[in-house]
Structure 1
Amino acid sequence: MFGVSLQIFLIITPLSALGVQCHGYYSNEYIRSDFPPDFIFGSGTSAYQVEGAANEDGRTPSIWDTFAHSGYYHGDDGDVACDQYHKYKEDVQLMADIGLDAYRFSISWSRLLPNGRGLMNPKGVEYYNNLINELLRYGIQPHVTLVNYDHPQALEDEYGGWVSRKMVYGFKLLEDFIVYADVCFREFGDRVQYWTTVNEPNVYSSGSYDTGITPPQRCSPPFGGVNCRQGNSSTEPYLVAHHILLAHASAVKLYRKNYQERTSLRRGELMTSFLAGKLHFLLYLQIVCRVLDPLVFGDYPKIMRKIAGSRIPSFTKLESEMVKGSFDFIGIIHYAVYKIKDNSATLMTEPRDYYADQAVKLVSERDIFSTDELPITPWGLEGVLDYLKQVYGNPPVFVYENGQLMQRNSALEDTPRLEYIQAYMGGVLNALRNGSNTKGYFTWSFLDVLELFNGYEIAYGLVYVDMDGPDLKRYPKISARWYSQFLKGQKIDLEQIIEFEENISALPS
């Protein structure tokens, strides 16, 4: 499936208006056969967070390399990460042992095309061919993302990356992103059925071009604070999202024209979802769904244009026709619930950034850098799925990321993560029973990886990686054991899971 990613916030109070039935605590009173036979269960990572080998075999820096080496992670970086570049066979074997149906990963653009364009790196092609073939050997579906916060630094230095239309409409025969996408489709498209273009474009465009907390850290005072290097927080979040939409739709058009018959391609749209508060609900949704609306309806919401005015680029008639319908599924990335309250006074201020345009304020906002465990509120995800059903015509949906953070340590006892995943899978099942067209559920993450906001301080993985050991040895956690038992059709309760602890070997000191 083919897609880009975005973030939506729903509201707590009027859930009944959305048709959501809240069932309280979501227990494990279900087994795999309660889900449809073709429902996909998987887990995921992304290139810079897991591969390592950052300076090997012809790979050049991406903007995430630059970001990490700026000291933002307090010394953490992805130079080695989990070293999946060298240990992919071991990792795929672990996936097979757990029983995963699918593995979601991203391709490093600068590993495949070190200059962002031009000659392919044969070592990069070889690595991704090997990974894909190894997955298929075990019957595991590859779900591939083309860009995850990591376009080549060379293109950022040359023309500013996504802020420039050169990324979309270059002076060459094809724009740089489409050349890259074409290489991926040509080299891997005969075996990959599920594609995502750019991960989380709404989160990426706001975090990277408004507040400057993610690479390439473009923003302007007073919105971005000390993180600002260059940029314009009032205009660039909209401009970047617009360029990503055009690039996404162009890639879909290219695939349909040149590669459709080689495999059954699915095009999709990823979405991060949080559940939000009460006032200004519809306005807030329309602002944060700015990437989804064009894909479904062909243009941005009218209220969004009214508020942001000329700061939002316009589609030509041909562009609107190209963007509309350029997906086969919607992807959801969901972790937590937030509440909002009215803050419409921000609409009277000048200049305004993307967040001021939302005209709301988060209540009891959880710091994105927090290392506290996430509350278990699976009705939030159920509400998102119901909202997509009612407002966007019930498209096919994959829950592409969902997981619980915990402090990163050698403890393999992670029952809070198990309880979180167990509850949210119950929420997905409830949504299915209420008519949602959800097709799959993926945990984040398969391994303990380098996290975007906290480096190696926290972890979401089903599998612990001993970063201090010379071999980066992998150790499945209790959550992995529970997931495995579930995927193999067994019903197992928490008391049985706890018994597993006695059989877990102590990690080397």
Structure 2
Amino acid sequence: MEPETSLNFTLMLTFLLYLNLVMGVLSVDHYRRVDFPDEFVFGSGTSAYQVEGASNEDGRTPSIWDTFAHAVYEHGENGDLACDGYHKYKEDVQLMVETGLEAYRFSISWSRLIPNGRGPVNPKGLQYYNNLINELISKGIQPHVTLHNCDLPQALEDEYGGWVSRDIIRDFTNYADVCFREFGDRVQYWTTVNEPNAFALGGYDQGTSPPQRCSPPFCTTNSTRGNSTYEPYLAVHHILLSHSSAVRLYRRKYRDQQHGYVGISVYTFGFIPLTDSEKDKAASQRARDFLVGWIIEPLVHGDYPISMKKNAGARIPTFTTRESEQLKGSSDFIGVIYYNNVNVTDNPDALKTPLRDILADMAASLIYLQDLFSEEEYPVTPWSLREELNNFQLNYGNPPIFIHENGQRTMSNSSLQDVSRVKYLQGNIGGVLDALRDGSNIKGYFAWSFLDLFELLAGYKSSFGLYYVDRDDPELKRYPKLSAKWYKWFLRGTIELKKDASFDSVGHLFQ
């Protein structure tokens, strides 16, 4: 080969290798567990009311979720028994080991640990959570703990209205103090409140979830208390102040010894403009401000998004200078909860109505309730999850992120061949790797959910679990679905996956 020809060949080969590298960074087609950083954790999750059961045992008192479930659901569907995780936690942790989970996300029932919401700690509740945490640690599984997941003690709701009162800041901080003190030597990752934006919209605007506070014409239920016009804003305001108070306490009192991290989680969609018009694009950003920026911007900038303050006016509370300073930088990480996309179109007429709720304040038409109450399965759109994760990088300073919930909804049945769930997980984990390679600061991924649970909006009618729970069996026997087997093989690193390929290409491995 002539020197000039050899040089040209070398340059061409170098260019092709470089192009291949760039294309690999731009989009993940094939991936394995080893393609993620060593410190990246994969897990799954549940929450206390959805999994524990034992609702009247060992000193536990009702939460607002107990009250809601007993008032709303038909055929006695509630979390009184749930998956009986309170008694079966050792069996469940062993299933986690068999699945290969590296981390487990769960919540603490405030009313099990401190039955009156404040005051004496329940020794039986304390023992249960110590036992669960110790079992996880002994099996090499990292515990990630949420302090509040839609289950405020009913005693505090009855006494002063719960999250609509500033009194909650004191009581939540004291509750967090107990948890940090008792469990913080083994728990490094704490989430103060699970998805406060969705909690406020469902619980204080539409009345579709605990504590079912809302007012006409915005109620979708027959609630007779609450005010949809301002209570959602007030509840989130007090949640944010409670969060910053708990974080301040942890950093002052515990961080130097325990070396842990305290964050908060947020529910998000992929916000897709209905058309390419500038108005719909602006409406999509406004919708994102109202749902995501509502929680994140006070933690980054110390105040609510400008579009929220403009549209909601005096109905949205204000932070004092001191509160604003305490909020800024008060989250060590953000938990992202993502399932699906919504189409957004401009709807300025919503602002002209004399009586408005938070959805009207968005001045955009969100396919929100239709999505939440639909029984359809979610589409697989890894590109949308990637885009939303990149928005945190671009707009909020690229904070550390854990994907706290991501999973496929199916109708509950005894079929263990949940191919659609496998396709969903396979695609979205690939989307997470895409975002990582874009530079997003993502630390872990938790598939929702570990077991088939009592779901907030559907009871036992819908299913997200990797494991099927036979509710006709007195022992509530667990059975691994295809998705559990797929997750196990992926975590073992024994298969390479193509995120947008047909499941048929790897499905034979799990039969």
- So what's the TM-score if we normalise by structure 2? 0.90
Q: Partner residue of 1:45?
A: 46
Q: CA deviation at 1:302?
A: 2.0
Q: 1:118 to 1:363 in 2, by over 3 A?
A: closer
Residue of structure 1 aligned with 2:243, choices 243, 248, 258: 248
Give distance in 2, aligned partners of 1:391 and 1:71.
39
Structure 2 residue 476 is the aligned partner of structure 1 residue 481: no
Residues 295 and 323 in structure 1, CA contact (< 8 A), matched pair in contact too = yes
Residues 188 and 261 in structure 2, CA contact (< 8 A), matched pair in contact too = yes
Q: 1:185 to 1:73 in 2, by over 3 A?
A: farther
Give distance in 1, aligned partners of 2:86 and 2:505.
35
Q: CA deviation at 1:287?
A: 1.7
Give distance in 2, aligned partners of 1:196 and 1:478.
30
Rg larger in structure:
2
- Residue correspondence of structure 1 range 204-243 to structure 2 within 5 A: 204-243=199-238
Give distance in 2, aligned partners of 1:485 and 1:70.
42
How many pairs does the alignment contain?
A: 475
Task: Encode CA deviations 1:159-183: one digit per residue, 9 max, x unaligned.
Answer: 1100111112xxxxxx111111111
Q: Partner residue of 1:159?
A: 160
Task: Encode CA deviations 1:434-465: one digit per residue, 9 max, x unaligned.
Answer: 11111111100000000011101111000111
Give distance in 1, aligned partners of 2:35 and 2:267.
26
Deviates more, 1:258-267 or 1:201-210: 258-267
SS of 1:339's partner is: strand
Structure 2 residue 313 is the aligned partner of structure 1 residue 309: yes
Q: CA deviation at 1:22?
A: 12
Which residue identity lines up with residue 299 of structure 2 in the other structure? L
Give distance in 2, aligned partners of 1:338 and 1:322.
33
SS of 2:373's partner is: coil
Q: Partner residue of 2:353?
A: 349
Q: 1:209 to 1:364 in 2, by over 3 A?
A: closer
Q: CA deviation at 1:500?
A: 5.8
Residues 407 and 449 in structure 2, CA contact (< 8 A), matched pair in contact too = yes
Q: CA deviation at 1:342?
A: 0.6
Residue of structure 1 aligned with 2:404, choices 390, 400, 423: 400
Q: CA deviation at 1:132?
A: 0.3
- Residue correspondence of structure 1 range 301-380 to structure 2 within 5 A: 301-362=305-366, 366-380=370-384
Give distance in 2, aligned partners of 1:492 and 1:84.
33
Deviates more, 1:326-335 or 1:102-111: 326-335
SS of 1:368's partner is: helix
Give distance in 1, aligned partners of 2:509 and 2:55.
37
Q: Which ranges in structure 2 are unaligned for 5 or more consecutive residues? A: 1-23, 274-279, 498-502
CA RMSD of aligned residues (A): 1.8
Give distance in 1, aligned partners of 2:224 and 2:86.
32
Give distance in 2, aligned partners of 1:218 and 1:364.
19
Give distance in 2, aligned partners of 1:456 and 1:112.
26
Which residue identity lines up with residue 346 of structure 1 in the other structure? A
Structure 2 residue 180 is the aligned partner of structure 1 residue 179: no
SS of 1:227's partner is: coil
- Between 1 and 2, higher relative CO (CA 8 Å, sep ≥ 6) is seen in 1
Deviates more, 1:487-496 or 1:280-289: 487-496
Q: 1:488 to 1:86 in 2, by over 3 A?
A: same
Give distance in 1, aligned partners of 2:290 and 2:496.
42
Q: CA deviation at 1:355?
A: 0.4
Give distance in 2, aligned partners of 1:48 and 1:252.
24
Give distance in 1, aligned partners of 2:144 and 2:99.
17
Task: Encode CA deviations 1:223-257: one digit per residue, 9 max, x unaligned.
Answer: 11433220110100000000000000000011111
Residue of structure 1 aligned with 2:508, choices 483, 494, 499: 499
Task: Encode CA deviations 1:298-325: one digit per residue, 9 max, x unaligned.
Answer: 0111221121111111111111111111
Residue of structure 1 aligned with 2:289, choices 281, 286, 291: 286
Which residue identity lines up with residue 200 of structure 2 in the other structure? S
Which residue identity lines up with residue 229 of structure 2 in the other structure? S
Give distance in 1, aligned partners of 2:496 and 2:287.
41
Structure 2 residue 255 is the aligned partner of structure 1 residue 260: yes
SS of 2:206's partner is: coil
Q: Partner residue of 1:136?
A: 137
Give distance in 1, aligned partners of 2:74 and 2:236.
26
Q: CA deviation at 1:366?
A: 3.4
Q: Partner residue of 1:462?
A: 466
Structure 2 residue 106 is the aligned partner of structure 1 residue 105: yes
Give distance in 1, aligned partners of 2:370 and 2:121.
43
Residues 25 and 437 in structure 2, CA contact (< 8 A), matched pair in contact too = no
